Structure 1
Protein backbone atom coordinates (compact mmCIF):
# COMPACT_ATOMS: atom_id res chain seq x y z
CA UNK A 1 0.00 0.00 0.00
CA UNK A 2 1.33 3.41 -1.00
CA UNK A 3 0.45 6.24 1.40
CA UNK A 4 1.01 9.99 1.24
CA UNK A 5 1.25 11.68 4.65
CA UNK A 6 0.89 15.48 4.57
CA UNK A 7 1.75 17.62 7.61
CA UNK A 8 3.73 20.84 7.96
CA UNK A 9 5.17 19.69 11.30
CA UNK A 10 8.07 17.89 9.68
CA UNK A 11 9.29 15.94 12.71
CA UNK A 12 5.77 14.75 13.55
CA UNK A 13 5.06 13.88 9.92
CA UNK A 14 8.19 11.76 9.60
CA UNK A 15 7.68 10.17 13.02
CA UNK A 16 4.09 9.15 12.24
CA UNK A 17 5.13 7.83 8.84
CA UNK A 18 7.89 5.70 10.35
CA UNK A 19 5.60 4.48 13.13
CA UNK A 20 2.91 3.29 10.71
CA UNK A 21 5.46 1.59 8.46
CA UNK A 22 7.08 -0.15 11.43
CA UNK A 23 3.75 -1.40 12.80
CA UNK A 24 2.13 -2.36 9.49
CA UNK A 25 1.76 -6.02 10.52
CA UNK A 26 0.14 -5.08 13.85
CA UNK A 27 -2.25 -2.80 11.99
CA UNK A 28 -3.28 -5.71 9.81
CA UNK A 29 -2.03 -4.04 6.66
CA UNK A 30 0.09 -5.23 3.78
CA UNK A 31 3.61 -3.77 3.56
CA UNK A 32 3.30 0.00 3.58
CA UNK A 33 5.36 2.59 1.72
CA UNK A 34 4.77 6.10 3.12
CA UNK A 35 5.94 9.34 1.55
CA UNK A 36 5.96 12.24 4.05
CA UNK A 37 5.50 15.72 2.56
CA UNK A 38 5.18 19.07 4.29
CA UNK A 39 3.31 21.39 1.91
CA UNK A 40 0.07 21.22 -0.03
CA UNK A 41 1.86 22.03 -3.29
CA UNK A 42 4.16 19.04 -2.87
CA UNK A 43 1.21 16.84 -1.88
CA UNK A 44 -0.58 17.75 -5.11
CA UNK A 45 2.54 16.86 -7.10
CA UNK A 46 2.72 13.46 -5.42
CA UNK A 47 -0.96 12.61 -5.78
CA UNK A 48 -0.76 13.26 -9.52
CA UNK A 49 2.19 10.95 -10.11
CA UNK A 50 1.78 7.54 -11.72
CA UNK A 51 1.03 5.34 -9.93
CA UNK A 52 -0.88 7.53 -7.52
CA UNK A 53 -1.00 6.81 -3.79
CA UNK A 54 -3.64 4.45 -2.45
CA UNK A 55 -4.43 6.69 0.52
CA UNK A 56 -3.67 10.21 1.80
CA UNK A 57 -3.49 11.42 5.41
CA UNK A 58 -3.91 15.20 5.37
CA UNK A 59 -3.38 17.75 8.13
CA UNK A 60 -5.83 20.65 7.83
CA UNK A 61 -3.56 23.48 8.95
CA UNK A 62 -0.59 23.66 6.60
CA UNK A 63 0.02 27.40 6.09
CA UNK A 64 -1.75 30.75 6.06
CA UNK A 65 -3.66 30.00 2.85
CA UNK A 66 -4.48 26.38 3.60
CA UNK A 67 -6.22 26.09 6.92
CA UNK A 68 -9.35 24.27 8.03
CA UNK A 69 -11.75 22.74 5.53
CA UNK A 70 -10.25 24.93 2.77
CA UNK A 71 -7.14 22.74 2.87
CA UNK A 72 -9.14 19.65 1.97
CA UNK A 73 -11.14 21.62 -0.60
CA UNK A 74 -7.93 22.72 -2.35
CA UNK A 75 -6.48 19.23 -2.21
CA UNK A 76 -9.60 17.58 -3.64
CA UNK A 77 -9.66 20.11 -6.47
CA UNK A 78 -6.24 18.82 -7.51
CA UNK A 79 -7.01 15.14 -6.87
CA UNK A 80 -8.46 13.99 -10.20
CA UNK A 81 -8.01 10.30 -9.40
CA UNK A 82 -10.12 10.73 -6.25
CA UNK A 83 -7.51 9.11 -4.02
CA UNK A 84 -9.20 8.59 -0.60
CA UNK A 85 -8.25 11.27 1.93
CA UNK A 86 -8.26 10.86 5.71
CA UNK A 87 -8.13 14.03 7.80
CA UNK A 88 -5.40 13.78 10.45
CA UNK A 89 -5.83 16.85 12.58
CA UNK A 90 -5.14 18.60 15.84
CA UNK A 91 -8.71 19.96 15.88
CA UNK A 92 -10.83 18.77 18.79
CA UNK A 93 -14.53 17.92 19.22
CA UNK A 94 -14.71 20.29 22.20
CA UNK A 95 -14.90 23.46 20.11
CA UNK A 96 -18.15 23.98 18.13
CA UNK A 97 -16.36 25.76 15.29
CA UNK A 98 -13.83 22.96 14.95
CA UNK A 99 -16.62 20.35 14.98
CA UNK A 100 -18.25 22.20 12.08
CA UNK A 101 -14.95 22.15 10.18
CA UNK A 102 -14.76 18.38 10.62
CA UNK A 103 -18.39 18.05 9.52
CA UNK A 104 -17.68 20.05 6.37
CA UNK A 105 -14.73 17.79 5.56
CA UNK A 106 -16.97 14.73 5.70
CA UNK A 107 -20.11 16.23 4.16
CA UNK A 108 -18.78 18.60 1.51
CA UNK A 109 -15.29 17.40 0.62
CA UNK A 110 -15.59 13.60 0.74
CA UNK A 111 -13.13 12.83 3.53
CA UNK A 112 -12.92 9.10 4.17
CA UNK A 113 -12.25 9.40 7.88
CA UNK A 114 -10.86 11.43 10.74
CA UNK A 115 -7.88 10.84 13.02
CA UNK A 116 -7.29 13.12 16.00
CA UNK A 117 -3.62 13.79 16.66
CA UNK A 118 -4.42 14.73 20.24
CA UNK A 119 -6.53 11.64 20.90
CA UNK A 120 -5.67 8.61 22.97
CA UNK A 121 -2.89 6.47 21.50
CA UNK A 122 -4.99 3.29 21.63
CA UNK A 123 -7.94 4.90 19.84
CA UNK A 124 -5.69 6.30 17.13
CA UNK A 125 -4.12 2.87 16.63
CA UNK A 126 -7.57 1.31 16.28
CA UNK A 127 -8.59 4.02 13.84
CA UNK A 128 -5.47 3.48 11.74
CA UNK A 129 -6.15 -0.25 11.63
CA UNK A 130 -9.74 0.25 10.48
CA UNK A 131 -8.78 2.85 7.88
CA UNK A 132 -6.00 0.70 6.45
CA UNK A 133 -8.55 -2.11 6.25
CA UNK A 134 -10.68 0.03 3.96
CA UNK A 135 -13.25 1.24 6.49
CA UNK A 136 -14.54 4.74 7.07
CA UNK A 137 -13.46 5.78 10.59
CA UNK A 138 -14.53 8.63 12.83
CA UNK A 139 -13.67 8.76 16.56
CA UNK A 140 -16.68 8.21 18.81
CA UNK A 141 -16.31 11.62 20.47
CA UNK A 142 -16.53 13.34 17.07
CA UNK A 143 -19.45 11.21 15.95
CA UNK A 144 -21.31 12.05 19.17
CA UNK A 145 -20.79 15.78 18.60
CA UNK A 146 -22.10 15.42 15.05
CA UNK A 147 -25.23 13.78 16.43
CA UNK A 148 -25.72 16.31 19.23
CA UNK A 149 -25.55 19.28 16.88
CA UNK A 150 -28.23 18.02 14.50
CA UNK A 151 -31.91 18.54 15.12
CA UNK A 152 -34.15 15.48 15.00
CA UNK A 153 -37.27 15.81 12.86
CA UNK A 154 -40.67 15.72 14.55
CA UNK A 155 -42.00 12.36 15.68
CA UNK A 156 -44.76 12.46 13.06
CA UNK A 157 -42.14 12.41 10.29
CA UNK A 158 -40.02 9.51 11.51
CA UNK A 159 -41.85 6.51 10.09
CA UNK A 160 -40.30 6.33 6.64
CA UNK A 161 -36.93 8.01 7.03
CA UNK A 162 -34.36 6.27 4.82
CA UNK A 163 -36.86 3.48 4.21
CA UNK A 164 -36.59 2.27 7.81
CA UNK A 165 -39.48 1.11 9.97
CA UNK A 166 -40.21 3.10 13.15
CA UNK A 167 -38.31 0.55 15.28
CA UNK A 168 -35.34 0.53 12.88
CA UNK A 169 -35.34 4.32 12.90
CA UNK A 170 -35.29 4.35 16.71
CA UNK A 171 -32.25 2.06 16.72
CA UNK A 172 -30.62 4.07 13.92
CA UNK A 173 -30.94 7.30 15.88
CA UNK A 174 -29.36 5.62 18.91
CA UNK A 175 -26.48 4.43 16.73
CA UNK A 176 -26.08 7.99 15.45
CA UNK A 177 -25.75 9.19 19.04
CA UNK A 178 -22.82 6.82 19.54
CA UNK A 179 -24.64 4.48 21.95
CA UNK A 180 -23.40 0.91 22.38
CA UNK A 181 -25.63 -2.10 21.74
CA UNK A 182 -26.10 -2.51 25.49
CA UNK A 183 -27.06 1.15 25.93
CA UNK A 184 -29.51 0.98 23.01
CA UNK A 185 -31.14 -2.12 24.46
CA UNK A 186 -31.61 -0.41 27.81
CA UNK A 187 -32.98 2.80 26.30
CA UNK A 188 -35.47 1.02 24.02
CA UNK A 189 -36.29 -1.71 26.54
CA UNK A 190 -35.31 -4.57 24.22
CA UNK A 191 -32.64 -7.27 24.29
CA UNK A 192 -29.11 -6.79 22.97
CA UNK A 193 -29.80 -9.65 20.53
CA UNK A 194 -32.75 -7.70 19.14
CA UNK A 195 -30.56 -4.63 18.72
CA UNK A 196 -27.96 -6.68 16.81
CA UNK A 197 -30.63 -8.10 14.51
CA UNK A 198 -32.19 -4.71 13.81
CA UNK A 199 -28.75 -3.18 13.29
CA UNK A 200 -27.95 -5.76 10.61
CA UNK A 201 -31.21 -4.93 8.84
CA UNK A 202 -30.36 -1.23 9.02
CA UNK A 203 -26.89 -1.81 7.52
CA UNK A 204 -28.46 -3.80 4.69
CA UNK A 205 -31.16 -1.22 3.94
CA UNK A 206 -28.74 1.70 4.04
CA UNK A 207 -26.07 -0.26 2.12
CA UNK A 208 -23.41 0.51 4.70
CA UNK A 209 -20.77 -1.72 6.26
CA UNK A 210 -20.63 -0.70 9.90
CA UNK A 211 -21.96 1.48 12.73
CA UNK A 212 -19.95 4.54 11.72
CA UNK A 213 -21.30 4.60 8.17
CA UNK A 214 -24.84 3.96 9.45
CA UNK A 215 -24.48 6.83 11.94
CA UNK A 216 -23.35 9.18 9.18
CA UNK A 217 -26.36 8.29 7.03
CA UNK A 218 -28.78 8.84 9.92
CA UNK A 219 -27.09 12.11 10.88
CA UNK A 220 -27.43 13.28 7.28
CA UNK A 221 -31.16 12.60 7.49
CA UNK A 222 -31.45 14.35 10.84
CA UNK A 223 -29.62 17.34 9.42
CA UNK A 224 -31.81 17.61 6.35
CA UNK A 225 -30.20 15.13 4.00
CA UNK A 226 -27.35 15.32 1.49
CA UNK A 227 -27.08 15.25 -2.25
CA UNK A 228 -26.31 11.98 -4.06
CA UNK A 229 -22.75 13.02 -4.79
CA UNK A 230 -21.95 14.21 -1.27
CA UNK A 231 -20.28 12.21 1.46
CA UNK A 232 -23.05 11.00 3.83
CA UNK A 233 -23.24 13.16 6.90
Structure 2
Protein backbone atom coordinates (compact mmCIF):
# COMPACT_ATOMS: atom_id res chain seq x y z
CA UNK A 1 0.00 0.00 0.00
CA UNK A 2 1.42 3.35 -0.97
CA UNK A 3 -1.24 5.68 0.39
CA UNK A 4 -0.41 7.97 3.30
CA UNK A 5 -2.17 6.85 6.47
CA UNK A 6 -2.14 8.36 9.94
CA UNK A 7 -2.22 5.54 12.46
CA UNK A 8 -2.22 5.82 16.25
CA UNK A 9 -0.77 3.03 18.39
CA UNK A 10 -2.18 3.22 21.91
CA UNK A 11 -0.43 0.84 24.28
CA UNK A 12 1.41 1.39 27.56
CA UNK A 13 4.14 -1.18 26.83
CA UNK A 14 7.03 0.42 24.86
CA UNK A 15 8.30 -2.94 23.56
CA UNK A 16 4.94 -3.88 22.10
CA UNK A 17 4.48 -0.39 20.66
CA UNK A 18 7.81 -0.83 18.89
CA UNK A 19 6.75 -4.23 17.56
CA UNK A 20 3.53 -2.72 16.23
CA UNK A 21 5.49 0.15 14.68
CA UNK A 22 7.61 -2.34 12.75
CA UNK A 23 4.56 -4.34 11.64
CA UNK A 24 2.68 -1.25 10.48
CA UNK A 25 5.69 -0.03 8.50
CA UNK A 26 5.91 -3.43 6.81
CA UNK A 27 2.19 -3.32 5.96
CA UNK A 28 2.08 0.36 5.00
CA UNK A 29 5.08 1.94 3.32
CA UNK A 30 4.01 5.53 3.94
CA UNK A 31 2.43 5.65 7.39
CA UNK A 32 2.44 8.58 9.76
CA UNK A 33 2.65 6.78 13.10
CA UNK A 34 1.65 8.39 16.39
CA UNK A 35 1.61 6.85 19.84
CA UNK A 36 -0.12 7.15 23.21
CA UNK A 37 0.53 5.31 26.47
CA UNK A 38 -2.73 6.14 28.31
CA UNK A 39 -6.33 6.95 27.51
CA UNK A 40 -5.82 10.56 28.63
CA UNK A 41 -2.84 11.01 26.29
CA UNK A 42 -4.80 9.35 23.50
CA UNK A 43 -7.82 11.64 23.84
CA UNK A 44 -5.56 14.70 23.82
CA UNK A 45 -3.81 13.42 20.70
CA UNK A 46 -7.10 12.75 18.89
CA UNK A 47 -8.28 16.27 19.67
CA UNK A 48 -5.13 17.64 17.97
CA UNK A 49 -5.14 15.14 15.08
CA UNK A 50 -8.63 15.07 13.53
CA UNK A 51 -7.58 13.07 10.46
CA UNK A 52 -6.50 9.78 12.05
CA UNK A 53 -7.25 6.82 9.75
CA UNK A 54 -6.89 4.01 12.27
CA UNK A 55 -6.47 3.52 16.02
CA UNK A 56 -4.80 0.39 17.36
CA UNK A 57 -5.99 0.19 20.99
CA UNK A 58 -4.90 -1.86 23.97
CA UNK A 59 -7.78 -2.39 26.42
CA UNK A 60 -5.42 -2.45 29.40
CA UNK A 61 -3.86 1.02 29.14
CA UNK A 62 -3.93 3.33 32.17
CA UNK A 63 -7.32 5.05 32.25
CA UNK A 64 -8.87 2.73 29.66
CA UNK A 65 -10.50 0.50 32.28
CA UNK A 66 -11.29 -2.35 29.95
CA UNK A 67 -14.31 -2.19 27.70
CA UNK A 68 -15.49 1.16 29.07
CA UNK A 69 -12.44 2.87 27.53
CA UNK A 70 -13.49 1.60 24.11
CA UNK A 71 -17.05 2.79 24.75
CA UNK A 72 -15.79 6.28 25.67
CA UNK A 73 -13.63 6.45 22.55
CA UNK A 74 -16.51 5.37 20.30
CA UNK A 75 -18.73 8.01 21.92
CA UNK A 76 -16.18 10.82 21.52
CA UNK A 77 -14.90 9.78 18.06
CA UNK A 78 -17.66 7.73 16.39
CA UNK A 79 -16.13 8.00 12.90
CA UNK A 80 -12.68 6.71 13.92
CA UNK A 81 -12.00 3.04 13.08
CA UNK A 82 -10.75 1.35 16.26
CA UNK A 83 -9.00 -2.01 16.18
CA UNK A 84 -8.37 -3.58 19.58
CA UNK A 85 -5.01 -5.29 20.00
CA UNK A 86 -5.15 -7.31 23.20
CA UNK A 87 -3.53 -10.17 25.08
CA UNK A 88 -6.96 -11.21 26.35
CA UNK A 89 -8.10 -13.44 23.52
CA UNK A 90 -11.20 -14.98 25.10
CA UNK A 91 -14.09 -15.33 22.66
CA UNK A 92 -16.41 -13.43 25.01
CA UNK A 93 -14.02 -10.45 25.05
CA UNK A 94 -13.73 -10.43 21.25
CA UNK A 95 -17.53 -10.55 20.92
CA UNK A 96 -17.87 -7.63 23.36
CA UNK A 97 -15.28 -5.62 21.43
CA UNK A 98 -17.24 -6.13 18.21
CA UNK A 99 -20.55 -5.45 19.95
CA UNK A 100 -19.26 -2.10 21.25
CA UNK A 101 -18.29 -0.87 17.81
CA UNK A 102 -14.66 -1.84 17.24
CA UNK A 103 -13.64 -2.33 13.60
CA UNK A 104 -11.49 -5.31 14.46
CA UNK A 105 -9.61 -7.38 17.03
CA UNK A 106 -6.00 -8.52 16.64
CA UNK A 107 -4.63 -10.93 19.28
CA UNK A 108 -1.24 -9.91 20.68
CA UNK A 109 -0.10 -13.48 20.12
CA UNK A 110 -0.39 -13.02 16.34
CA UNK A 111 2.81 -13.57 14.40
CA UNK A 112 4.15 -10.87 12.09
CA UNK A 113 2.50 -12.33 8.98
CA UNK A 114 -0.95 -12.47 10.63
CA UNK A 115 -0.52 -8.94 11.99
CA UNK A 116 0.40 -7.49 8.61
CA UNK A 117 -2.47 -9.34 6.92
CA UNK A 118 -4.95 -8.02 9.50
CA UNK A 119 -3.64 -4.45 9.13
CA UNK A 120 -3.92 -4.60 5.36
CA UNK A 121 -7.48 -5.90 5.65
CA UNK A 122 -8.70 -3.11 7.96
CA UNK A 123 -6.93 -0.42 5.90
CA UNK A 124 -8.76 -1.82 2.86
CA UNK A 125 -11.99 -1.07 4.72
CA UNK A 126 -12.80 -4.62 5.81
CA UNK A 127 -13.26 -5.43 9.53
CA UNK A 128 -10.91 -8.06 10.94
CA UNK A 129 -11.84 -10.51 13.69
CA UNK A 130 -10.32 -13.92 14.42
CA UNK A 131 -12.21 -16.68 12.58
CA UNK A 132 -14.80 -18.71 14.44
CA UNK A 133 -16.01 -15.90 16.70
CA UNK A 134 -19.79 -15.63 16.47
CA UNK A 135 -21.93 -12.60 17.17
CA UNK A 136 -22.38 -11.63 20.80
CA UNK A 137 -25.74 -12.37 22.35
CA UNK A 138 -27.63 -9.23 23.29
CA UNK A 139 -27.44 -8.28 26.95
CA UNK A 140 -29.95 -5.44 27.48
CA UNK A 141 -28.53 -4.53 30.90
CA UNK A 142 -24.94 -4.23 29.66
CA UNK A 143 -26.10 -2.35 26.58
CA UNK A 144 -27.96 0.13 28.77
CA UNK A 145 -24.91 0.53 30.99
CA UNK A 146 -22.67 1.10 27.98
CA UNK A 147 -25.08 3.77 26.73
CA UNK A 148 -24.87 5.55 30.10
CA UNK A 149 -21.06 5.36 30.17
CA UNK A 150 -21.03 6.88 26.67
CA UNK A 151 -22.87 9.98 27.93
CA UNK A 152 -19.99 10.91 30.26
CA UNK A 153 -17.67 13.67 29.13
CA UNK A 154 -13.95 12.79 28.94
CA UNK A 155 -13.34 14.66 32.21
CA UNK A 156 -16.22 12.90 33.96
CA UNK A 157 -14.95 9.54 32.72
CA UNK A 158 -11.49 10.41 34.05
CA UNK A 159 -12.97 11.25 37.45
CA UNK A 160 -14.90 7.96 37.45
CA UNK A 161 -11.74 5.98 36.69
CA UNK A 162 -9.92 7.76 39.52
CA UNK A 163 -12.80 6.83 41.82
CA UNK A 164 -12.32 3.25 40.69
CA UNK A 165 -8.64 3.52 41.65
CA UNK A 166 -9.70 4.48 45.18
CA UNK A 167 -8.76 8.16 45.09
CA UNK A 168 -10.55 10.64 47.36
CA UNK A 169 -12.12 13.86 46.08
CA UNK A 170 -9.18 15.87 47.40
CA UNK A 171 -6.69 13.62 45.59
CA UNK A 172 -8.64 13.74 42.32
CA UNK A 173 -8.84 17.53 42.53
CA UNK A 174 -5.07 17.68 43.02
CA UNK A 175 -4.37 15.32 40.11
CA UNK A 176 -6.64 17.27 37.75
CA UNK A 177 -5.57 20.66 39.09
CA UNK A 178 -9.12 21.77 39.87
CA UNK A 179 -11.05 22.58 43.05
CA UNK A 180 -12.82 20.02 45.21
CA UNK A 181 -16.06 21.83 44.38
CA UNK A 182 -15.48 21.06 40.70
CA UNK A 183 -14.94 17.39 41.50
CA UNK A 184 -18.13 17.30 43.56
CA UNK A 185 -20.02 18.82 40.61
CA UNK A 186 -18.55 16.15 38.33
CA UNK A 187 -19.57 13.45 40.83
CA UNK A 188 -23.15 14.74 40.92
CA UNK A 189 -23.30 14.64 37.13
CA UNK A 190 -21.72 11.16 37.00
CA UNK A 191 -24.16 9.74 39.54
CA UNK A 192 -27.11 11.25 37.65
CA UNK A 193 -25.96 9.93 34.26
CA UNK A 194 -25.24 6.45 35.60
CA UNK A 195 -28.40 6.31 37.70
CA UNK A 196 -26.55 5.60 40.97
CA UNK A 197 -26.57 7.17 44.43
CA UNK A 198 -22.95 6.94 45.56
CA UNK A 199 -19.37 6.29 44.48
CA UNK A 200 -19.46 2.61 45.42
CA UNK A 201 -22.36 1.96 43.05
CA UNK A 202 -20.62 3.98 40.31
CA UNK A 203 -17.42 1.95 40.62
CA UNK A 204 -19.36 -1.33 40.57
CA UNK A 205 -21.04 -0.30 37.31
CA UNK A 206 -17.72 0.66 35.76
CA UNK A 207 -16.21 -2.68 36.75
CA UNK A 208 -19.11 -4.52 35.10
CA UNK A 209 -17.69 -3.35 31.78
CA UNK A 210 -14.26 -4.72 32.56
CA UNK A 211 -12.77 -6.91 29.86
CA UNK A 212 -12.17 -9.73 32.29
1:103 equivalenced with 2:103 (yes/no): no
Cα drift, residue 18 of structure 1 = 3.5
Runs of 5+ in structure 2 lacking a partner?
138-212
CA distance in 2, matches of 1:129, 1:23: 6
Q: TM-score, normalised on structure 2?
A: 0.56
Q: 2:119 — aligned with what?
A: 128
Maintained 8 Å contact 1:17/1:35: no
Cα drift, residue 22 of structure 1 = 4.2
Maintained 8 Å contact 2:105/2:129: yes
Maintained 8 Å contact 1:87/1:111: yes
1:50–1:84 CA distance, 2 compared to 1 (3 A): same
- In angstroms, what is the RMSD of aligned CA positions? 2.3
1:53–1:77 CA distance, 2 compared to 1 (3 A): same
Work out which structure has the larger RCO, using CA pairs closer than 8 Å and 6 or more positions apart in sequence: 2
Match of 2:107 among 111, 116, 135: 116
1:145–1:106 CA distance, 2 compared to 1 (3 A): closer
Cα drift, residue 23 of structure 1 = 4.1
Maintained 8 Å contact 2:95/2:134: yes
CA distance in 1, matches of 2:8, 2:115: 18
CA distance in 2, matches of 1:6, 1:12: 10
Please give the per-residue CA displacement for 1:21-64, whole angstroms capped at 9, x wherever unaligned: 24424xxxxx211101111111111112243311111011113x
CA distance in 1, matches of 2:113, 2:54: 21
Maintained 8 Å contact 2:86/2:106: yes
Q: 1:176 — aligned with what?
A: none
1:87 equivalenced with 2:87 (yes/no): no
SS of the equivalent of 1:48 reads helix
Maintained 8 Å contact 2:59/2:67: yes
CA distance in 2, matches of 1:145, 1:139: 6
Q: 2:66 — aligned with what?
A: 68
SS of the equivalent of 1:71 reads helix
Q: TM-score, normalised on structure 1?
A: 0.52
The structure with more radius of gyration: 1
Maintained 8 Å contact 2:94/2:133: no
Aligned residues: 134
Cα drift, residue 82 of structure 1 = 2.1
Runs of 5+ in structure 1 lacking a partner?
26-30, 94-98, 151-233
